[in-house]
Amino acid sequence: MNQKKNEPSVARKPRRRKEARPAEIVVAGIIEFEEHGFAGAKLSRIAQKAGIAKSTIYLYFESKEALFIAAIEEHVASVMGESEAKLFSEEGTTRELLLGLLQNMYARFVHGEAQALFRILLTEGDRLPDLISEYHALTIQKGSTLLKKILARGLERGEVRPGPHLEIPHVLIAPAIYFAVHKMMFRSAQPLDFEEYFEAHTDVLFHGVLTG
């Protein structure tokens, strides 16, 4: 059973790691999956990005699909984790609370790492219904719940006018998502100026839902 193939040759440079490897592979994987999608991603390129051999990936992940899922899962957790509890601080005017929420959203989806994740899930989400649900819960669900609270509080304080937006707050943050989408599609063709856009968004939003 022992044929004499695999005569390896000389000179390799295998310094050890171990705990670090999986994370490195995941990082390289995220980049590759974001650039090429699942089908277009190549394990050889991921390995290259991570500075290892292709076969090394299989020491830590069972398959391309397994790596994909692990990578997305970790990214969902790490990117969407913290920093939402303090947003609803009960202090400040409704205007200030909304402004803080929007700044947070733009920071995440337009400037931050969440954009890559957003793009991957938008593209490849059909194969990952569970992750989509989790992502939905961590972003849209959580965000709109928070928004509803802010609006309800504002209504009590007389700062927010009544209307259907109290139940469908998505409409209010939609321009932020639109900006992210626009950036993904048209960043080469015709980029939007962020400062102007942000001002237009808040301006319309405030005039649209605030009293006075």
Binding site for DNA (CB under 7 A): 1-18, 21, 41-44, 52-56, 58-59, 63-65
CB of 133 to DNA, least distance (A): 25
CB 185 within 8 A of CB 115: no
State the binding partner of 161 from DNA, its own copies, none, CB within 5 to 8 A by kind: its own copies
Residue 160: strand pairing partners: 210
What is the number of residues in the chain?
Answer: 212
CB of 2 to DNA, least distance (A): 6
Number of residues that bind its own copies (CB under 8 A): 49
Residue 16 tokens read as 């050890």
State the binding partner of 123 from DNA, its own copies, none, CB within 5 to 8 A by kind: its own copies
Residue (17 or 37) nearer to its own copies, CB: 37
Q: Is residue 132 a contact point for its own copies (CB under 8 A)?
A: yes
Residue 38 tokens read as 């699942």
CA distance 57 to 37: 18
Question: Residue 62 is inside which H or E element, if any?
Answer: none
Q: Is residue 37 a contact point for its own copies (CB under 8 A)?
A: yes
Q: Is residue 174 a contact point for its own copies (CB under 8 A)?
A: yes
Residue 33 has, within 13 A of its CA and on its CB side, a CA count of 28
